[in-house]
Amino acid sequence: MNSKALQRQVNNPEVGVYECELHLKFRLIEDKSLLGDREQLLQVLLDALTEGNDDFLETLQASVKAQEISEFKASPQMRRQLMRLRNFSDTIQ
C-alpha cells in the first residue's frame, strides 16, 4: 500500500448515513432447537447468511439496497457518533 492510500485509510472522513434495505429468501438446514424466539432466530439466520451459500444454505431471492440520506434523518445517537468520527479524522490530518 502506498502512503497516500494509507493516509486516506487512516483519515477516512468519508462516512455517511445510509438507509438500507435487505430482503432475502433462502432455504436453510438448521437445528430445530436453535430457532427459538425472534431475536435468537435473527442471529441464527444472520450467522448462516454470513457463511454464504453452501450445503446448508440455498439463496432463493436477494435484494440489497443502500442509499445515502441526510444525516438529519438519523437518531441523535447516530449524529453524535458521526460527529465524533469526523472530529477524529480532523485531528489526525
Binding region for a copy of itself (CB under 8 A):
5, 8, 11-12, 14-33, 35, 38, 41-43, 45-47, 49-50, 55-56, 58, 60, 62, 64, 66, 68-69, 73-75, 77-78, 80-82, 85
C-alpha cell at 52: 454464504
Q: Residue 74's closest CA among 12, 13, 16?
A: 16
Q: 52 vs 91, which CB is nearer to a copy of itself?
A: 52
Q: 14 vs 91, which CB is nearer to a copy of itself?
A: 14
Q: Is 60 helix (H, G, I), strand (E, B) or coil?
A: strand
Q: 78 vs 87, which CB is nearer to a copy of itself?
A: 78
Contacting residues for 63 by C-beta, under 8 A, at least 6 apart: 21, 22, 23, 24
